[in-house]
């Protein structure tokens, strides 16, 4: 199995079996859409003491956007806000094809690195991350 095939399997697994699908009651809600296609995500975050206690999402979108949302919620759960923003920065660098900090365990997120080769799809992959950044930044105010 080559890496591309493996990565594709991870992406499809998150698309078909999304982690953290749903809506958290009484929590921070962020709606975001991809203006290019109109696909949308609603992200709900439960933040306490600067920690992401829980994260859930729902939405309609392509396999890249939905699998990225699933991976993102998985990656930030239980993390500090600082760490969540750091992961977002790394992801954004990955999408731009830039170097990123390899010391941090990215888990399934790494499977999306191939998206960087397809500029039209980068907005799909970053949709959920943009929503998370917006939520975290608003919660700081
Ligand atoms: Fe998502 Fe084109 S905008 S594939
Ligand atoms: Fe719309 Fe990917 S095609 S988010």
Atom 4, ligand 1: residue with shortest CA distance:
121
What digits encode the pLDDT tens for the residues 63-103?
999 999 999 999 999 999 999 999 999 999 999 989 887 78
Ligand 1 atom with the smallest distance to the CA of 120 is 2
Ligand 2 atom with the smallest distance to the CA of 127 is 4
> Do residues 108 and 71 lie in contact, with contact meaning Cβ atoms separated by under 8 Å?
yes
Q: Where are the beta strands (DSSP E) in the chain?
A: 28-33, 40-48, 51-60
Domains of the chain, earliest start first = 3-139 (3.90.1010.10)
Report ipTM (2 d.p.): 0.75
Q: Say whether 66 sits in a helix, a strand or coil.
A: helix
What digits encode the pLDDT tens for the residues 7-52?
999 999 999 999 999 999 999 999 999 999 999 999 999 999 999 9
User: If you measure from the C-alpha of residue 110 to the centroid of ligand 2, how many angstroms do you get, rounded to a whole number?
Assistant: 19
């Amino acid at each position: 199995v080559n890496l591309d095939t493996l990565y594709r399997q991870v992406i499809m697994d998150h698309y078909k079996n999304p982690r953290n699908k749903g809506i958290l009651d009484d929590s921070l809600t962020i709606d975001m859409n991809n203006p290019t296609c109109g696909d949308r995500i609603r992200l709900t975050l439960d933040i306490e003491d600067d920690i992401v206690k829980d994260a859930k999402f729902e939405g309609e979108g392509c396999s890249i956007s939905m699998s990225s949302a699933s991976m993102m919620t998985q990656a930030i759960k239980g993390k500090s806000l600082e760490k969540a923003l750091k992961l977002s920065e790394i992801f954004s660098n990955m999408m731009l094809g830039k170097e990123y900090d390899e010391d941090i365990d990215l888990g399934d997120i790494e499977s999306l690195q191939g998206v960087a080769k397809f500029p039209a799809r980068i907005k799909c992959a970053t949709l959920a991350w943009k929503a998370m950044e917006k939520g975290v930044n608003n919660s700081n105010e």
